[in-house]
Structure 1
Amino acid sequence: MTRPIKRSLTLQGHRTSVSLEDEFWRAFRDIAEARDLPLNALAAEIDATRDPETGLATAIRLYVLRHYRELARGSSARP
């Protein structure tokens, strides 16, 4: 696994950055593409539903994990 890299996103018109490992960033992009969503739209969706005590990077990692766990279980439900 690689070290986290800081990447920029735009949420509600404001630039922000998250530090994610390449593997998580690629998976995050893949999920957005599969859902036919711009990356910033998926990030905004995650941001809007995360616990305020949870950082955005952590929320993205957990979203990616839940997504692939659901796929492994054979469920079509989104995380």
Structure 2
Amino acid sequence: MTRPEKHSLTLRGHRTSVSLEPDFWNGLRGIARDRGIGVSALVTEIDETRGTDTGLATAIRLFVFRHYRDRA
């Protein structure tokens, strides 16, 4: 296991930081690259669809997990 890494992102003009494990950052970057968009744009999409009871880091992890699970 590796420790989460904190990265800064801009979501709708506001800076925020998110801590994720490197495998999730790599997965998120891969999805963004495949879609031809930046990581901040993808995280903005994830942020707009998450429920109010779900933190942003959790929503990202679930998004990445479900993306690769559904491709398997």
Unaligned runs of 5+ in 2: none
1:44 matched to 2:35? The reply is no
Match in the other structure for 2:68: 68
Return the index of the structure with the highest Cα Rg.
1
Match in the other structure for 1:33: 33
Structure number with the bigger relative contact order (C-alpha 8 A, sep ≥ 6) is 2
* TM-score, normalised via structure 1 length: 0.88
Percent identity of the aligned residues? 64
* TM-score, normalised via structure 2 length: 0.96
Match in the other structure for 2:10: 10
Paired AA for residue 44 in structure 1: T
Offset of residue 5 of structure 1: 1.1
Dislocated runs of 4+, deviation >3 Å = none
Report the RMSD for the aligned CA atoms in angstroms: 0.6
Unaligned runs of 5+ in 1: 73-79
